[in-house]
Amino acid sequence: MIWQQQSPKQLFPNILIFDMARIVGIDLGTTNSLVAYMKDGQPCVVPDRNGRTMVPSVVALTDNGLIVGDSAKEHLTRNPERTVYSVKRFMGKGLADVQDELVYFPYHVTETGGVIRIRLGQKSYSPPQVSAMILKELKLRAEASLGESITKAVITVPAYFNDSQRQATKDAGLIAGLEVLRIINEPTAASLAYGLQQKTQGTIAVYDFGGGTFDISILKLKDGIFEVLATSGDTHLGGDDLDRVLVDLFIGDIRDRYGIDVSRYPDHMQTVRLEAERAKIRLSDELKTKITIELPEDKGRFTRELTRDQLESLVAGIIERTLAPCRIALKDAGLTPKNIDEVVLVGGSTRMPLVRQRVEALFGKQPHCHLNPDEVVALGAAVQADILSGGTTDMLLLDVTPLSLGIETMGGVMSSLIRRNTTIPASAKEMFTTYVDGQTGVDIHILQGERELVKDNRSLAQFRLKVPPLPAGVPRIEVTFLIDANGILNVTATDMRTAKSQSIEVKPSYGLSDTEVERMIEDSFKFAAEDVTARKLIEARLDAEALIKTTDKSLLEAGHLISEKDADDIRTSLSQLSTAKNGIDSRVIRAHMAELEQTAKHLNVMMLDHSLKKSLQGKKVSEVS
Amino acid sequence: MGYTPCRLLLMDNQQSPPHPDTRRQLQMARSMCWHCQSEVTGEYFCDRCVKVQPVSKETDYFTCLGFPRRLLLDPQKLEAKFYELSRTFHPDFYQTKSADEQTISLSNAAVLNTAYRTLRDSIQRAEYLLALETGSVKDIRTSPPADLFEEILDLQDTLEEYRASERDSDQGHRLRATLQTEQEALERRKEGMEAQLRQLFADWDKLQDAGEATSLARVERDRILKEMRDLLSNRTYVNNIVNDLAATIA
């Protein structure tokens, strides 16, 4: 939520922004994250050197510092207490929201000031900070691949994310040094990719079942307009939950067979979790699979067989839970399954045959995933980034707010101001007054959710509206609630009697305060500078070593071809560089390298000449020319 | 000391209609470009500096979407206009523009979305027009309309009985069947009211198209508006009962 005090000056600062910097699209996933950009009118995902497009959303603290991605994933079993995964499940949440599932996470989770903190070694990090590390990795990857600095991004979130979760994602971007130009919903991002690449038209349902979240969005695609009709979902329902069913099964088996409680061994718990995930994935292609898990305390190895039927009967209930939001979305859109022209599958969990069967049964048509379900969200984010930078002009996404927005009124009841599935940007105004003479403040409690009672909805923030001390009912304070195109709420207040805007001091119920975010950005830049210095030093040392080695070799082979004085000069420069190499200033090392290159210039010419002659020895003239 | 808020007006996502005089004044005030101060004759952009212009907060939703105050609107045309204006105002297309233009685009897009949401639904459209024409917000009926009074009272009794009964018992099944029949009857009643409304909508449009300023026309106008108001509030009442019924026996 953004709180602003509007004054005419702020409304009209005469600044023009000319900016053509590239904007990337980022899918910040529960399990994996990707970065994509628009190239010649087509979105493409940025791969690493090995051609891998997905960065595992894992951060590990090692003796050499924090690492992210594939290398961090290796620490899940080696170093479970210091390896953070699925951090997206904690974004914009308080400890009470996630209490039930903490048992599944080996890392230490606490709460300070309404925000979850994750302990890594001596320090604690908020979920946005951990997400920022993943974003930085993607940023570096894009910079390395594109050869330019990346500072702007579109980041995707589950459509059913509430205001706190969206704000936390925006904070993560800021901490990573990215200006987040737009937060867009994952299923709608996917629809953009389909609209562009498959020229899809008509009414489509996007069923997005990922690692940690489930979304359903129903859209109308017509003449380049992507109008979301309704969206629903569950931000705590994904592949992680499917894995947990298997984890519980294996732990029970091991306990029965070996009398060992694996849950007491965090590293083995991770082995079990990863094996559960792999077995689940294998069973999408195979009918049965074998599970092998090394047991703690040298108790040997646990093996068992698991069939697809067994898996399906275990997870059927979880998959069933995705269908209720689908029915709600259809109802909200005023449609029946017959009205849906196409059903598109997004997210890794849709690879399960049972998921496809259930979706097909509900909509009465075969769902498809012509585009890679792991990549399609990032591709769509890149399309949206291109729209924002003015590249694509024929496509426009009209999204909705997934949850109703309201305020607390007398009796602990929520009164809605903006209903769910309202097209955004959306605004509502509310006039407030007093009911006691001389009252100087009105407390406003902002809520998000669909339930009647305040306690059943999400508290977004509370603030006190300052009211001039007047007889009851006389003050007129107009509060405007505006949901912007990111789905984030902005609030402004105006005293209608004086037409003066007033500042609102707000206490967000969840999430970081502005000052805290600022400090985290500073920290991140400070460490970024340290990181860069360290990297420069390592590179300079390596380069210096290589230069010393080749110069030594040249002296040995071609030293007799230059004057004794030249050779002495080179030896002096060499020893100076050797000393500088052990220092900590990369610039000093580079300076001595330049000096050595200068003094050894003649030697290098002679050396080249010498090796050329050597290679030509014994060859006829005709062979050379 | 904390106070729970005292809401002055429940706007129900609709702006209260402006007084006709204020409306004219504000529209005149906005004919000057905020940026170059030249007169704006174009609809949404300044002809001189091509800057987007704010849609006045007092512009009614019909004007905003470029439609006359009629009640039978072609949904296809309405949608096409909404899409066209979305392309004109959506913040996505103002990302590289100045902060002022971004603010205007955001607020224009929010007004446009509210306007479309209101006019897209024929009932909401009629309620909005009624508020514009008569200057009062819709009245919410709390007691059943006279011709339904007996029926609704009986229905309430059956509902009470059903709630108290064992769902799976013979009595439960019997009551459920009765309620279902009642629901269907009320739905037919609602459809009847909607048909009557459509007729009134057509009458309204015909009267407006004729554009006569005779006293006869004024009487006709008042008749339509009054009948429409009564029908709308009765329909809302019946609609709520039907929804309640559906939720109870679901």
How does the average pLDDT of chain A come out, rounded? 87
Note the pLDDT of residue A328.
93
User: Which residue shows structure tokens 């090394």?
Assistant: A294
Residue in chain B closest to A405 (alpha carbons) equals B13
The reply to whether B84 touches chain A by the CB within 8 Å rule is: no
Residue A169 has pLDDT above 60, yes or no: yes
Residue B50 has pLDDT above 80, yes or no: no
Structure confidence at residue A537 as a pLDDT band (50, 70, 90): confident
Note the pLDDT of residue B11.
32
The reply to whether A265 touches chain B by the CB within 8 Å rule is: no
Residue B57 has pLDDT above 60, yes or no: yes
Best mutation target, B1, B11, B13, B100, to test chain A (most A CBs within 10 A) = B13
Cβ separation A432–B8 shorter than 8 A: yes
Cβ separation B13–A482 shorter than 8 A: no
Residues 426-445 of A with CB under 8 A from B: 426-436, 439, 441-444
Best mutation target, A9, A414, A427, to test chain B (most B CBs within 10 A) = A427
Q: Output phi, psi for A475, to 5 deg.
A: -60, 150
- DSSP string spanning A162-201? -HHHHHHHHHHHHHTT-EEEEEEEHHHHHHHHHHHHT---
Structure confidence at residue A619 as a pLDDT band (50, 70, 90): low
Residue A15 has pLDDT above 50, yes or no: no
Report the number of secondary-structure helices (H) and strands (E) in chain A.
Answer: 18, 31
Note the pLDDT of residue B53.
77
Cβ separation A485–B90 shorter than 8 A: yes
Residue B171 has pLDDT above 70, yes or no: yes
pLDDT tens sequence across A358-403:
999 999 999 998 999 999 999 999 999 999 998 888 899 999 999 9
Cα gap A122→A113, rounded to integer Å: 19
Residue A363 CB-half CA count within 13 A: 27
Note the pLDDT of residue A304.
94
The reply to whether B6 touches chain A by the CB within 8 Å rule is: yes
- CB distance A438 to A483 below 8 Å: no
Residue in chain B closest to A419 (alpha carbons) equals B13
Note the pLDDT of residue A383.
95
Helix axes A586-599, A564-581, angle to 10 degrees: 170
pLDDT tens sequence across A477-524:
888 889 999 988 888 888 888 777 776 666 667 777 777 777 777 777
Structure confidence at residue B140 as a pLDDT band (50, 70, 90): low
How does the average pLDDT of chain B come out, rounded? 80
Give the mean model confidence (pLDDT) for residues B127-150. 76
Residue in chain A closest to B109 (alpha carbons) equals A425
Cβ separation B87–A396 shorter than 8 A: yes
What is the ipTM metric for this complex?
0.80
- CB distance A126 to A512 below 8 Å: yes
Cβ separation B6–A396 shorter than 8 A: no
Judged by DSSP in three states, A9 sits in helix
Residue A594 has pLDDT above 50, yes or no: yes
Task: Please write down the HEC assignment for all residues of chain B.
Answer: CCCCCEECCCCCCCCCCCCHHHHHHHHHHCCECCCCCCECCCCCECCCCCCECCCCCCCCHHHHCCCCCCCCCCHHHHHHHHHHHHHHHCHHHHCCCCHHHHHHHHHHHHHHHHHHHHHHCHHHHHHHHHHHHHCCCCCCCCCCCHHHHHHHHHHHHHHHHHHHCCCCCHHHHHHHHHHHHHHHHHHHHHHHHHHHHHHHHHHHHHHHHHCCCCHHHHHHHHHHHHHHHHHHHHHHHHHHHHHHHHHHHC
Residue A202 has pLDDT above 60, yes or no: yes
Residue B144 has pLDDT above 90, yes or no: no
Q: What's the CATH code, domain B20-127?
A: 1.10.287.110
When CB atoms are compared, the residue of B2, B3, B91 closest to A425 is B91
Task: Answer with the residue of higher pLDDT: A307 or B173.
Answer: A307
The reply to whether A332 touches chain B by the CB within 8 Å rule is: no
Cα gap B39→A607, rounded to integer Å: 78
Q: Output phi, psi for A118, to 5 deg.
A: -110, 130
- Domains for chain A: give ranges and CATH numbers: 2-237+321-398 (3.30.420.40), 239-319 (3.90.640.10), 403-512 (2.60.34.10), 516-613 (1.20.1270.10)
Structure confidence at residue B12 as a pLDDT band (50, 70, 90): very low
- CB distance A62 to A165 below 8 Å: no
Residue in chain B closest to A390 (alpha carbons) equals B93
Q: How far is CA A346 from the centre of its chain?
A: 17
pLDDT tens sequence across B100-132:
889 889 999 999 999 999 999 999 999 999 989
pLDDT tens sequence across A415-430:
889 999 999 999 998 8
Structure confidence at residue B22 as a pLDDT band (50, 70, 90): very low
Residue A6 has pLDDT above 70, yes or no: no
Count chain A–chain B contacts defined by CB atoms under 8 A. 124
The reply to whether B76 touches chain A by the CB within 8 Å rule is: no
Cα gap A425→B113, rounded to integer Å: 7
When CB atoms are compared, the residue of B5, B34, B106 closest to A425 is B106
Best mutation target, A182, A398, A439, to test chain B (most B CBs within 10 A) = A398
Cα gap A360→A368, rounded to integer Å: 10
- DSSP string spanning A462-487? EEEEE--S-STT---EEEEEEE-TTS
Note the pLDDT of residue B163.
81
The reply to whether A407 touches chain B by the CB within 8 Å rule is: yes
Note the pLDDT of residue B124.
93
Note the pLDDT of residue B17.
44
Note the pLDDT of residue A535.
64
Tell me which chain A residues have a C-beta less than 8 angstroms from the C-beta of B91.
Answer: 425, 484-485
Note the pLDDT of residue A526.
67
Residue B52 has pLDDT above 90, yes or no: no
The reply to whether B240 touches chain A by the CB within 8 Å rule is: no
Note the pLDDT of residue A530.
64
Cβ separation B8–A389 shorter than 8 A: no
When CB atoms are compared, the residue of B9, B96, B114 closest to A390 is B96
Note the pLDDT of residue B3.
53
pLDDT tens sequence across A174-186:
999 999 999 999 9
When CB atoms are compared, the residue of B98, B100, B110 closest to A482 is B110
Cβ separation A13–B111 shorter than 8 A: no
pLDDT tens sequence across A255-312:
999 999 998 888 899 999 999 999 999 999 999 999 999 898 888 899 999 999 999 9
Give the mean model confidence (pLDDT) for residues B157-180. 84
Q: Tell me which residues of A are annotated as active site.
A: 27, 88, 186, 208
Identify residue A563 by its one-letter amino acid code.
Answer: S
Cβ separation B98–A222 shorter than 8 A: no
Note the pLDDT of residue A5.
42
When CB atoms are compared, the residue of A181, A227, A396 closest to B95 is A181
